[in-house]
Amino acid sequence: MYLNLIQLAESFGVSERVVEGWIRDEGLPNTPDRGRLLFDRAQVAQWAATRGLAAQAGFLAPETPALAASLHLSSLLRAGGIWRNVLAADVPAVFERVVTALPGATPPVRQLLGQRVRAPGGVTIAPVGGGFALPHPSTRITLGRDSGAVALLLLRDALPLADTPPDGVPVNRLFFFIAPSPRLHLELLARLSRSLVREPLRERIVRGAKDEEIIQAMEMVESALAGAAKPEVKS
C-alpha cells in the first residue's frame, strides 16, 4: 500500500514541510513517481519504529478506544449501502445520493454535502492498491456522532484517475465514506485501510458476494481488529 505526501503528513499529525525534511535529513523511504512522492506503508512503519515515532491518525494510526466506541463499519456500511454494476461516469451521482440520504443529518446539511461532492475537487480519491480506493469528501464537516456512512461501489468499468495507481491496477472498487467529525474522519480512514487487507472481507468483495455476506465479513474483521487492539493482561 502506498501513501502520498498529504496522507503521510496527516498520519503523523505534521505538516508536509516536516515530511520533506524527514526525506532530506532522516532518509525517509520514498518513491518518486511522475513529479510526486509516494511512500510504501511497510517501509514507513519500519522507519518510524526505529526513530520512536508514532502515527497519530490516518493509514498508520494505532487503534484508539474512541474509534471502537464511536464507529462501527458494518453499521455505517448498512447506512451507505452496497452499489453494484455502477458505471464510472455515474460515480459522482452515487456519491451525491449517499450524502443526501445521510442518517442523522439535517436536510440543509445533506443538501450542502450533495453540492460539495458534485463540485470539481469535492471528493478526494485515495487508491490503496489491488483495484481499491477510499474516496471521501475533500472538505470535512462536523455532523454529529449519530451521522456518517460508508458506501461500497462495485464498478462495471475502471474509474478514470488523474494519476495511475502505484501498483498499476485499475480502480473499480470504491469505499466512499463520510465521518461524523474531522477527527473521526482520520480514524475511519485508518480502520478502512486495515480492514481492506483482511480476509474474508477482501475476498468476498472481489468475488462479488451477496450484500449480507460482505457485511458479515466486515463484522468479523471489526471483531478481529478490536481483539488485536486489546492489551494483554499479565498474571
**Percent of the chain residues topping a pLDDT of 70:** 86
The terminus-to-terminus CA distance of the chain in angstroms comes to 38
Q: What is the pLDDT of residue 85?
A: 97
Taking the C-alpha atoms of residue 43 and residue 143, their distance in angstroms, rounded to an integer, is: 35
Beta bridge partners of 174: 133, 153
Write out the three cell numbers for 219.
463484522
What is the per-residue pLDDT across 68-112, written as a single tens digit (0 to 9) for each? 455 789 999 999 999 999 999 999 999 999 999 998 888 888 888
What's the CA gap between 206 and 115, in Å, rounded? Answer: 31
The domains found in the chain, sorted by start residue, are: 2-59 (1.10.1660), 65-229 (3.40.930.10)
Q: Are 81 and 98 in contact (CB under 8 A)?
A: yes
Rama region for 7: left / alpha / beta (φ>0; ψ in -120 to 50; rest): alpha
Phi-psi domain of 201 (left: phi exceeds 0; alpha: psi -120 through 50; beta: other): alpha
User: Residue 28: is its pLDDT beyond 70?
Assistant: yes
Q: Using CA atoms, how far apart are residues 99 and 101, in angstroms rounded to an integer?
A: 5
DSSP run (H or E) holding 154: strand 149-155
Question: How many C-beta atoms surround the C-beta of residue 52 within 10 A?
Answer: 6
pTM value? 0.71
**Residue 197 burial (C-beta neighbours within 10 Å; 0-12, 13-18, 19+):** middle
What pLDDT does residue 210 have? Answer: 96
- How large is the average pLDDT for residues 119-125? 90
